[in-house]
Chains A and B, each alone.
Chain A
Amino acid sequence: MPAVREETMDVRSDEDVMRVRQVTRQWAIDLGFSLIDQTKIVTAASELARNALIYGGGGITRFEALHEGARRGLRLTFEDKGPGIADVAQAMRDGFTSGSGLGLGLGGARRLSNEFDIVSAPGQGTTVRIARWK
């Protein structure tokens, strides 16, 4: 589905993770999301941007506004060129962590999103894409 608006940001520091939260909030407001939907996608974005920073050694976040008929959605893509994940299924389980996170990042972000997919392999980096519809 073509995005009607797009923006990309670097994620290289704690401050960048915070900025990803702020930009996600603004996009969600612009798309007319309710406060609860805003909070959910901002929280998911925070988890995934932090993952890209901590596990992926930094990366990018892409924001896309989706219009499908009358439906409005926000798609976020988090890409890093880090070491990748050998066992994605294991990484999705709550409590699993290989860095300094709590291990709720991936599973939690999936529960807070309407759509979630992840592509990762050792040496190939990690790409996580989520969408939330209004």
Chain B
Amino acid sequence: MRDGKPPAERIPILKMGEFLLVTIQVEMHDRLVMGLQDELTQQIVQHRARGVLIDISALEIVDSFIGRALGNIAKMARVLDAETVVVGMQPAVAITLVELGLNLEGVRTALNAEKGMALMRRGFDAR
């Protein structure tokens, strides 16, 4: 881990119909988080996306910085008429988030990518 490859400089964003899909598969330093936030916002507009799915199942921690970025993404997406769902949070991460005091306000979550996709296809209406 400590002698591993240098961290990626950007997180790929996939377009699928009217949705954008992001699978975070690397550990994220803060600049990478900010870059994702900016790029997602641009791509929502560029592709007129209606939904954004962010898979964080590979993330081993969500600290206040990442948590706040997820909240910001959801807020900015909403202003641009798109909804965001965060999927796949590991149980240990969820427990830690609560103790940290972060509530991810305004961020919809789903257990996994499949459930998240179903939520987006339904148009997010019914809980």
* Complex partner residue of B30 from A17, A42, A43, CB under 8 angstroms: A17
* Complex partner residue of B92 from A22, A26, A35, A104, CB under 8 angstroms: A35
Which residues of B sit under 8 angstroms from A14, Cβ to Cβ? 29-32
Chain A interface: which of B38-46, B61-69, B76-84? B61-69
Which residues of A sit under 8 angstroms from B92, Cβ to Cβ? 35-36, 38-39
Which residues of B sit under 8 angstroms from A84, Cβ to Cβ? none
**Chain A at the B interface: SS class:** helix
Instruction: Determine if A102 and B68 form an interchain contact, defined as CB atoms under 8 angstroms apart.
Output: yes
Which residues of A sit under 8 angstroms from B27, Cβ to Cβ? 18, 21-22
Chain B: which residue is nearest A23 at the CB level?
B2
Instruction: Determine if A111 and B99 form an interchain contact, defined as CB atoms under 8 angstroms apart.
Output: yes
Which residues of A sit under 8 angstroms from B63, Cβ to Cβ? 43, 46-47, 50
Chain B: which residue is nearest A24 at the CB level?
B61
Mark each residue of chain A from 72 to 95: 1 if its CB lies under 8 Å from any CB of chain B, else 0.
000000000000000000000010
Instruction: Determine if A40 and B99 form an interchain contact, defined as CB atoms under 8 angstroms apart.
Output: yes
CA distance A111 to B1 in the complex (A): 27
Instruction: Determine if B61 and A107 form an interchain contact, defined as CB atoms under 8 angstroms apart.
Output: no
* Complex partner residue of B60 from A17, A25, A47, A107, CB under 8 angstroms: A25
Chain A: which residue is nearest B68 at the CB level?
A102
Which residues of B sit under 8 angstroms from A40, Cβ to Cβ? 95-96, 99
State how many angstroms separate the Cβ of B100 from the closest Cβ of chain A.
4
Decide: A105 near B101, CB < 8 A? Known: A26-B2, A36-B92, A50-B30: no
Which A residues from 97 to 128 make CB contacts under 8 A with B?
A: 101-102, 104-105, 107-108, 111-112
Instruction: Determine if A94 and B99 form an interchain contact, defined as CB atoms under 8 angstroms apart.
Output: no
Which A residues from 1 to 58 make CB contacts under 8 A with B?
A: 14-15, 17-19, 21-23, 25-26, 35-36, 38-40, 42-43, 46-47, 50
Could you list 17 examples of A-B contacts with CB < 8 Å?
A: A14-B31, A14-B32, A18-B28, A21-B61, A26-B1, A36-B96, A39-B61, A39-B90, A47-B63, A50-B30, A94-B101, A102-B64, A108-B99, A108-B100, A108-B101, A111-B99, A112-B100
- A residues contacting B by CB (< 8 A) are 14-15, 17-19, 21-23, 25-26, 35-36, 38-40, 42-43, 46-47, 50, 94, 101-102, 104-105, 107-108, 111-112
